[in-house]
Amino acid sequence: GQNIDQPTEMTATEGAIVQINCTYQTSGFNGLFWYQQHAGEAPTFLSYNVLDGLEEKGRFSSFLSRSKGYSYLLLMELQMKDSASYLCAVRDGDYKLSFGAGTTVTVRA
Partner 1 sequence: DVKVTQSSRYLVKRTGEKVFLECVQDMDHENMFWYRQDPGLGLRLIYFSYDVKMKEKGDIPEGYSVSREKKERFSLILESASTNQTSMYLCASSPLAGEANEQFFGPGTRLTVL
Q: Which residues bind partner 1 (CB under 8 A)?
A: 4, 8, 31, 33, 41-45, 48, 87, 89, 94-102
Q: Which of the 8 DSSP states describes residue 21?
A: E
What is the C-alpha R_g of the chain?
13
Give the other-Cβ count within 10 Å of 16's Cβ.
Answer: 13
Nearer to partner 1, 3 or 13 (CB): 3
Nearer to partner 1, 81 or 95 (CB): 95
Least distance CB 48 / partner 1 (angstroms): 4
Which parts of the chain are beta strand (E)?
3-5, 9-13, 18-25, 32-37, 44-49, 53-57, 60-65, 70-75, 84-91, 97-99, 103-108
Nearer to partner 1, 42 or 109 (CB): 42
Least distance CB 57 / partner 1 (angstroms): 12
8 Å CB contact between 78 and 15: yes
Least distance CB 109 / partner 1 (angstroms): 26
Nearer to partner 1, 78 or 87 (CB): 87
